[in-house]
Amino acid sequence: MKKTAYSYIRFSSPEQAKGDSFRRQLSRTVEYCEKHDLILSETRFQDLGVSGWTGKNIERGALGDFLIAVKAGKIPTGSVLIVENFDRFSRLKPRVAYAKLGEMTGFTFLYHSMS
């Protein structure tokens, strides 16, 4: 049975919305899903113009919404969260960021570096 993947897209400033960040992150997520035979959910998590340095994306943003959905059992066990690079997930101090990651149990977290 195919796993369901959820995309998480984040960039820090409204200025970046004028560039290619959103399209690039979504395009690479779609490519990753196709390559690894994942079903990309229509439910997307996006923090557009939200800093990862402050943790707002986790506290009050879409990544926080994802965390709440995981804890509430609304994200099926075995699902996959796809993030372009770990710095899209968070730019908090590593121990803080990994603690937040650890709260998301029952799913697979993938980040795909596209350097």
Task: Tally Cβ neighbours within 10 Å of residue 11.
Answer: 22
Q: What is the pLDDT of residue 37?
A: 94
What is the number of structural domains in the chain? 1
Please name which of 44, 14, 4 lies closest in space to residue 26, comparing C-alpha atoms. Answer: 44
Q: What is the mean pLDDT of residues 78-86?
A: 82
What average pLDDT does the structure give for the chain?
A: 79
Please name which of 38, 10, 4, 9 lies closest in space to residue 26, comparing C-alpha atoms. Answer: 9
Q: What is the pLDDT of residue 7?
A: 92
Using the predicted structure, report yes or no on whether residue 33 has a pLDDT greater than 90: yes
State which residues form the domain around 58.
4-111
CA distance 90 to 109: 13
Which CATH number does the domain housing residue 103 bear?
A: 3.40.50.1390
Using the predicted structure, report yes or no on whether residue 99 has a pLDDT greater than 60: yes
Top-confidence range, 12-21, 74-83, 97-106: 74-83
Top-confidence range, 8-22, 36-50, 66-80, 88-102: 36-50
Higher pLDDT, 53 or 2: 2
Q: What is the pLDDT of residue 31?
A: 93
